[in-house]
Amino acid sequence: MFQIKVNATSVIFSKFFSAADAAAAFEVIPDHTTRVLFVDTGVTIDLIATVKSLVEKGVDVTIRDHHKGEGRNPEAAEVIEQILGSNAKIVDRKTAPGCATLIGLGEFADIGVIVADPDYDGLVAAMKACGISYEGMDNDAEVFDVRPKQSAETLTALGWTAVRALSTLPPFNKEKPEISENAKKQLFERFVAAASGDSAARAELEKAVAEHGAGVEEAERLLAEKMFVPCKGVTLVDSVGAARSDLNTLTKGMEKDGVVVTVVRKDFGPIAGKPGGHGVQYSLAVVQKHQAELDLRTLVPTGTETSPQAGLLSNVAFLLHCSESVWNTTILPALAARFAG
């Protein structure tokens, strides 16, 4: 979790995947706050608890989100809607591919606090809420959430620079989360400044693009040397021990004909190093054109605990992260059975 200022508004970036996430976000919302906007924060049990606590304090809470029907508790959105009434606008991704389209420019310019998902979609939605925009921002918001579509052709020049700069940030380290969080905070601050016309901030983003070039080269090496097919319909790249690679290049290279699921084995992330994880995690994604065909959550037996400690995170239909033991005993056999024949 981290926060920045957008105009005069405090924007807190946080996930709500655990009680600790919720507690950390709740703690940094000032006691005198009267209004809070949650944007791009998929509804979870822990988000519900946070919203309830704020409402009980008399805070006017609004939510704008596009994760309806997703997560381990898809009915959670209905709970929030019952609590907030007309202040809750929760739709699916088809209705609003980017959350910025759910907000009018400057609609929440006088709000005290915004809580957003810590990605570019959450950031530009918060910017728009505060009255900051740039030409093509709504389109960028829609593309930011679909990594394989990100390119110089689909994004604005600023958006394309930003996603390449993002790929150069240090990976998340559970022992020292502040390293990656502080780096992302600085990147987000530069993006806001650049979108507002700050040429020095834009120059800093451009400087990071040079590092992105090295990441592209490493991704191309991994595709050539470390990619294999663990079962029909699946490609896997083993990036453990490799230098930082560009995920966009890696993903596009893995999405070959007949591939439904891509997998990256890596030595960083919330599961890597957890008990049972043996220092690595497997990150799965369903190729976009196949997302209506496969819900990765169906690979997991009903009632299975999902948490970093359990070695499994599966909060949306098209993404899943697991430990090596869970991959070998549960996920790979389920994929092999799914695509057999």
Out of 208, 243, 273, pick the residue that ends a domain. Answer: 208
Q: Does 213 reside within a domain? A: no
The verdict on 143 and 88 lying in the same domain is: yes
CB 7 within 8 A of CB 132: yes
Helix axes 157-166, 120-129, angle to 10 degrees: 130
Flag whether the pTM goes above 0.85.
no
* Alpha carbon distance 309, 270 (integer Å): 9
At residue 341, the pLDDT reads 67
Q: What is the DSSP letter of 210?
A: H
Q: What is the DSSP letter of 202?
A: H
β-pairing, 312-316 vs 319-323, is antiparallel
- Containing structural domain, residue 121: 2-208
Cα 228 to chain center, whole Å? 26
The tokens describing 126, both together, are: 């918060």
The verdict on 204 and 224 lying in the same domain is: no
Q: Does 119 reside within a domain? A: yes
The verdict on 161 and 253 lying in the same domain is: no
End-to-end CA distance of the chain: 45
Q: Does 190 reside within a domain? A: yes
At residue 277, the pLDDT reads 46
Q: Does 214 reside within a domain? A: no
3-class SS of residue 149:
helix
The verdict on 201 and 332 lying in the same domain is: no
Low-confidence stretches of the chain (pLDDT beneath 70):
72, 173-175, 273-278, 341
The verdict on 235 and 140 lying in the same domain is: no
pLDDT digits (tens, 9 = 90+) for 223-242: 999 999 999 999 999 999 99
Q: Does 46 reside within a domain? A: yes
Listed residue (225, 288, 281) closest to 251, CA to CA? 288
Contacts of 18 (CB under 8 A, 6+ apart): 46, 307
pLDDT digits (tens, 9 = 90+) for 174-186: 667 888 899 999 9
The verdict on 75 and 134 lying in the same domain is: yes
At residue 306, the pLDDT reads 86
The verdict on 200 and 333 lying in the same domain is: no
pLDDT digits (tens, 9 = 90+) for 135-173: 999 999 999 988 778 999 999 999 999 999 998 888 776
The tokens describing 37, both together, are: 């906007």
Q: Does 173 reside within a domain? A: yes
CB 20 within 8 A of CB 125: no
CB 131 within 8 A of CB 109: yes
- Please count the structural domains in the chain: 2
Q: What is the DSSP letter of 307?
A: B
- Ranges of H-type helices in the chain: 19-28, 45-56, 76-84, 120-129, 137-144, 157-166, 177-195, 199-225, 247-254, 324-326, 332-338
